[in-house]
């Protein structure tokens, strides 16, 4: 009797990477692999990598180094590395030179080839590298092992055409390609029939969905279609680019009762000079007008954003423009980043790099501005009843459950584990900067 083969996948990066790992798991399950509980018992270890931040890249190298011992102890162990890092030739060269114990390297465009790569590796002893620079084809119907059985990611498009000067994504994920609306709709209907209550639509810039399709279905039109799917209760999406946020999309968010009252709208910098250097294609005034328009049309919306501190050439005056946008927009929360050089991007060559100590001081000031606003937004919910999709047992208190409101706020409350996967009413009784506390409404 053959021993069951076991796999372990470690994922760094965005929701797109998380969903790619779900597909990899689905493929491995179809090959009759089962999930390992630790590295020591795995027959196949896959690292799905991210290149957006330097920290994630360094973690991958550190983890690969630790696998040398395992490979010595178990020569039959297969080590594979995939994801955005592998799209860069320089990274592949580093792995070939320093991490020769890696067996398989594949990229973001050919996940579907994994069964063949494992088979080919069994017939060879040297490192197998299969990376495509880009692919015009979208592979449908890949088996997928979802992390949850009540909420799911759905890719609606791949790649990016924006070429922000700090971002490596267009070079690792390729040009924009939208999935056919009928394929997205079919996936959503299938998920609803399986009992899924929430879907999150993924794309580097969902607002430009459909531009390469023959029928030119727009993103707002797609939302209206998905809103009619019986059984689905929530629709989320990310990420939105301000330059493509249309009045039609705002109307669709307002009209579609299943679309959550949450908009993630990265602004990155409040300085028009820096925005131009970033190639963001909007200015501070346009961004603030969008915020005002969205809040006027959907008053109870939660607005979140991305902000980069210390982009090359950023002066104190530029940074104060960013603070001004934060104060005027009153974000519910924000993903904040210290600018880090990504080789291969135009900004990496900029000679006006901001010193690290200046970056850190500005970063602290930014957090000092954001935190009271987030707390104020959360405090305004005390005493209100909110609908919560219960996701898990609280990580910090096993007597409590954790879930997300319609506005994507994390809330903790006492309740029975049988509620996981259900949408329940919770009354907000306390607010912290980033989370809420509540009581289940019986």
- For the cut 60, the answer to whether the pLDDT of residue 2 exceeds it is no
Give the number of other CB atoms < 10 A from CB of residue 167. Answer: 22
Mean pLDDT value across residues 246-271: 97
Residue 124 confidence (pLDDT)? 64
Which ranges of 7-53 would DSSP assign to H, the alpha helix?
Answer: 15-30
Model confidence pLDDT, tens digit, residues 15-67? 989 999 999 999 999 999 999 999 999 999 999 999 887 788 889 999 999 99
Of the candidates 106, 109, 107, 108, the one whose C-alpha atom is nearest the C-alpha of residue 118 is 106
- Distance, CA of 87 to CA of 82 (rounded, Å): 9
Residue 139 confidence (pLDDT)? 66
CATH of domain 151-378: 3.80.30.20
- Distance, CA of 27 to CA of 278 (rounded, Å): 38
User: What's the burial of 216, exposed, middle or buried (CB within 10 Å: 0-12/13-18/19+)?
Assistant: exposed
* Mean pLDDT taken over the chain: 94
Q: In sequence order, what are the residues at sequence separation of 6 or more whose Cβ sits closer than 8 angstroms to the Cβ of residue 275?
A: 268, 269, 282, 283, 284
Residue 52 confidence (pLDDT)? 81
- Distance, CA of 405 to CA of 393 (rounded, Å): 16
According to the CATH classification, is domain 385-440 in 2.40.50.140? yes
Residue 147: pLDDT band with limits 50, 70, 90: confident
- Distance, CA of 235 to CA of 258 (rounded, Å): 6
- For the cut 80, the answer to whether the pLDDT of residue 3 exceeds it is no
Residue 1 confidence (pLDDT)? 39
Contact indicator for 364, 412 with CB cutoff of 8 Å: no
Q: What share of the chain has pLDDT > 90, as a percent?
A: 83
Mean pLDDT value across residues 190-210: 96
- Distance, CA of 288 to CA of 328 (rounded, Å): 8
Give the number of other CB atoms < 10 A from CB of residue 121. Answer: 17
- Rg of the chain's alpha carbons, rounded to an integer? 23
- For the cut 80, the answer to whether the pLDDT of residue 373 exceeds it is yes
Residue 168 confidence (pLDDT)? 85
Which ranges of 31-158 would DSSP assign to H, the alpha helix?
Answer: 54-73, 89-98, 114-122
Total residue length of the chain = 442
Q: Residue ranges of the domains in the chain? A: 5-130, 151-378, 385-440
Order of all β-strands in the sheet with 5-11: 33-35, 5-11, 44-49, 78-83, 104-106, 128-130
Model confidence pLDDT, tens digit, residues 312-327? 999 999 999 999 999 9
Residue 316 confidence (pLDDT)? 98
- Distance, CA of 189 to CA of 194 (rounded, Å): 9
Nearest-10 crossing angle of helices 219-227, 181-193: 30
Residue 28 confidence (pLDDT)? 95
Second CATH level (architecture) for the domain 5-130: 3-Layer(aba) Sandwich (3.40)
Residue 355 confidence (pLDDT)? 96
State how beta strands 385-393 and 128-130 pair: unpaired
Half-sphere exposure of 198 (CA within 13 A, CB side): 23
Order of all β-strands in the sheet with 198-202: 151-155, 198-202, 234-238
Q: Worst-scoring range by mean pLDDT, 97-106, 143-152, 178-187, 323-332?
A: 143-152
Residue 172 confidence (pLDDT)? 83
State how beta strands 435-440 and 234-238 pair: unpaired
- For the cut 60, the answer to whether the pLDDT of residue 340 exceeds it is yes
Residue 142 confidence (pLDDT)? 77
Examine residue 327 and say whether the peptide bond preceding it is cis (omega within 30 degrees of 0).
no
The Cα-based distances of 389 to 111, 258, 260, 348 in angstroms read: 31, 13, 12, 42
- Distance, CA of 388 to CA of 385 (rounded, Å): 10
Q: In sequence order, what are the residues at sequence separation of 6 or more whose Cβ sits closer than 8 angstroms to the Cβ of residue 28?
A: 7, 44, 114
Residue 121 confidence (pLDDT)? 85
Of the candidates 312, 430, 322, the one whose C-alpha atom is nearest the C-alpha of residue 367 is 322
Residue 125 confidence (pLDDT)? 64
């Amino acid at each position: 009797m053959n021993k069951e083969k076991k796999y372990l996948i470690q994922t760094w990066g965005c929701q797109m990477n998380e969903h790619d790992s779900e597909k990899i798991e689905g493929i491995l399950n179809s090959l009759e692999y089962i999930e390992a509980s630790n590295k020591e018992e795995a027959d196949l270890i896959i690292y799905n990598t991210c290149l957006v931040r330097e920290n994630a890249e360094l973690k991958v190298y550190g983890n690969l180094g630790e696998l040398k011992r395992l490979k010595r102890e178990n020569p039959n162990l297969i080590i594979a590395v995939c994801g955005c890092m592998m799209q860069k030739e320089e990274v592949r060269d580093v792995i070939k030179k320093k991490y020769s114990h890696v067996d398989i390297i594949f990229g973001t465009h050919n996940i579907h080839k994994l069964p063949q790569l494992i088979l080919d590796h069994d017939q060879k002893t040297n490192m197998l590298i299969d990376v495509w620079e880009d692919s015009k084809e979208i592979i449908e119907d890949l088996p997928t092992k979802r992390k949850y059985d009540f909420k799911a990611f759905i890719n609606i498009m791949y790649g990016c055409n924006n070429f922000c000067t700090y971002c490596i994504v267009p070079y690792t994920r390729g040009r924009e390609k939208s999935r056919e609306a009928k394929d997205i709709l079919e996936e959503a209907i299938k998920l609803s029939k399986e009992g899924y209550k929430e879907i999150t639509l993924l794309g580097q810039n969902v607002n430009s969905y459909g531009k390469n399709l023959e029928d030119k279905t727009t993103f707002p039109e797609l939302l209206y279609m998905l809103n009619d799917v019986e059984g689905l209760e929530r629709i989320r999406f990310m990420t939105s680019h301000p330059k493509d946020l249309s009045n039609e999309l705002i109307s669709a968010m307002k009209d579609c009762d299943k679309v959550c009252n949450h908009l993630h709208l990265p602004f990155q910098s409040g300085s028009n000079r820096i925005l131009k250097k970033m190639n963001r294609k909007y200015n501070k005034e346009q961004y603030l007008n969008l915020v005002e328009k969205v809040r006027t049309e959907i008053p109870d919306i939660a607005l979140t954003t991305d902000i980069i501190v210390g982009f090359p050439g950023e002066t104190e005056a530029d940074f104060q423009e960013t603070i001004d946008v934060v104060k005027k927009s009153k974000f519910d929360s924000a993903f904040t980043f210290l600018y880090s050089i990504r080789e291969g991007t135009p900004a990496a060559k900029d000679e006006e790099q901001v010193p690290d100590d200046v970056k850190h001081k500005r970063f602290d000031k930014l957090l000092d501005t954001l935190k009271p606003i987030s707390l104020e937004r959360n405090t305004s919910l005390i005493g209100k009843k909110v609908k919560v999709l219960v996701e898990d047992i609280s990580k910090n208190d096993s007597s409590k459950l954790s879930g997300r409101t319609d506005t994507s706020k994390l809330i903790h409350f006492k309740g029975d584990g049988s509620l996981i996967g259900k949408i329940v009413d919770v009354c907000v009784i306390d607010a912290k900067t980033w989370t809420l506390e509540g009581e289940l409404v019986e």
